Structure 1
Amino acid sequence: MMKLQICNDQDRKEAQNRERRRQCELERRSRIFNARNRKIGVDVPFLERQIAEKRSERDEQERKDLAFAKQMIKDSNLAVVLEGREMEERRRINVEIDEFRQKFQRPEDRREFDRNNPESLKVQLPPRATDGEPVGMSSAQKFEGEDLEYEERKKIMAQQKNAWLEQQVQERKSAQEERKKAEAAYMMAIRARDARAGELDKMERECRYRLGQANLRYNEALAAEKKQLESIMKEQEEADNTAEMYNNLTSDMLTENPDVAKSALGKNRAIGFMYKGMNQEELKKFYAAQKEQMIAAKEKREMEQKMDAEWQALSKSIQREVARQDIADGRKRREMARQLMEENQLLALQQKEKEKYFKEVVYNNTPTDDYYSQFNTTTR
């Protein structure tokens, strides 16, 4: 019976790995055996990446130029529309200005229209129309010294003069009345101010008098209180002094009571500021203890002197041993230096023999073409 082997996932992965390694070997061989890439060193992927970057930059620049052109077209259209609106606004303003001139700035409304009026000859009065004696066009219209309207002007000037005089009289009367009223108001204000000042002065004097009386009464009360307090404090001080003198005379400090110096911390403890000294029994104990301390100190000094002598002897022996060991070490170092020098001389002689052998035997043959042809046959 024939058995068929089924390809599993592991086999497929192995086949894919083998194919991948084969492709990598082919690519490696194409790179290694390419004389141009090997000598010049051109990085093709880098160049391709540069080309792609250049192309992307060019596309981006074209996109920006296209967007800029579209924006310019849009701005141009907007400028055309705004220019049309501006022209329309100017035309409307000009129309309104023309209408205003036709309504409110007509030539006949001007102040100097009588000089430039083309119809002036048609509307002017006939010569000498004011005195009731018209004359012809070729006659003289005015003579030196003539004043045809003298009487009328004289009447008008007299009326105007009378009106001015009457107005001045009325203004003078009203000014005098106003001045009298102002003087009366000023005098009333002065009298009211003086009366108010008098009242304020009277009130101030009364307040000062009352304040002085109050201060006087307050000071008298303070003086009496102070005097009473001083007498009380003097009596208290005399009583305190008497009590202090009695307490000092009857205190344990002046009576030198030894029991007051005992401390609650122990029977051998005493209170420093109340301690008055030792009695005879305590002095004997103190001297005996002091003598014992002197004997112990003397024994301690003798022990220390003995120990110092032993340490000095030990240090001297150690110094002698160290000096002897230094001499022995110096001898050993000199012997080792001599041996090392002999070994170096022997090594130098061997090195010279080796160099001579390499120069005369090993390095005298020249490599042939067969030697170089065995290299660079595979990618590995």
Structure 2
Amino acid sequence: MKAVLAKDLEQDAKLAKRTHAELCKQQRVFNARNRIIGGDTQAWDIQVHDQRIKEATEKARHETFAAELRQNDKVICILDDREKRDRKCLCRAISDFQQNCQKPETRREFDLSDPLALKKELPARQSDSDVRNTVSGMQKFMGEDLNFQERKKFQEEQMREWSLQQHREWERARADQKFAEDHYTQTRLNFDETASHLQKLESITRKAVCAAVKEFNRKQAMESAERKRQEKRQEQEDNMAEISSQLRGDLLSENPQQAASSFGPHRVVPDRWKGMSREQLEGVRLAQKQQIQEKLRLQEEARQRDLDWDRRRVQKARVALLGERRQHRQQCEDRRALDRSNLRLAAEQRLQCAGHGWARGRQRSSAPIKRGPGLFPLKRLFIFIYIYI
């Protein structure tokens, strides 16, 4: 079932209303009793009534708008009066604040337009230490101070004190220099005495040290000679022991057992092996001779075998040649026999042709003549055997 929406209901209502209006209009138009010369007075009355209602509605709406406008005008007037009153109060407050808190004498640039500025100003120079007397003001120059006399007197007194102090310092410096020179002279004398005494002590000490060093060197030389003698004797003993060890050892005695390897009796240690013994060399030479004889024997057997094969090949070639010759003679004999047979047959054929007629004799005379096998293969075999031999 299809759901019914509010929009569908509204469309159905409009359609039904339009249909009802059309039906009413048709009744009014097509009804002869109510129709007056084609005019619909009832519809006209309804239209006039609707127009009056519309005009009344418009008039009421305009009156409402006019009332709202009047109300808004009153509100605007009230707000305007309030704004003017507030602005007036603000201006009065600003004026009071300026008169009380922003006086002309409190401004930063008031000194530029102050009418009593000249009366309020201080003199150009109150004292020598006035902070306003700057270099650019040119209010004070060297020697133009206010207490010039007192300053000059003070300077003279100061110069006299400086001179006296300098003289005292000079006298004190001369006394110090003289004392330093005397002290230096006394110190030099003391140093010279001490140096001479130390030199004497040094010479005595050097002599004692030289004697001690000489004695020490003598003892060291004796100990060194004894040590060298002992080392030489020990070295000779070691050399003799080494020589005897080498003579009795396996290295120089060339013991073949020392070169035996642990991997088998057929292997040796290369760094200990002294070469083969006489028996081993003789065995090697004997084996080499046997190998040479065996090789010569094999070569002789190969040569004999080659000669045998050559002889057999020649014999076979000779037999083949003899067979070929015999075959050739047999073929020649067969050829001669065949020729004699052909001649006999030809004679018989001629006799028969003479008896039976020329045509038949000619037909028989065209019979093939038998020939023996060719000699070309035998000739070629003979030439090959001759070249090979």
Instruction: Sort the TM-score into its range (normalised by shorter chain).
Output: 0.3 to 0.5
Return the structure number with greater relative CO, CA threshold 8 A, min gap 6: 1
Larger Rg: 2
Q: TM-score, normalising length from structure 2? A: 0.36
Q: TM-score, normalising length from structure 1? A: 0.36
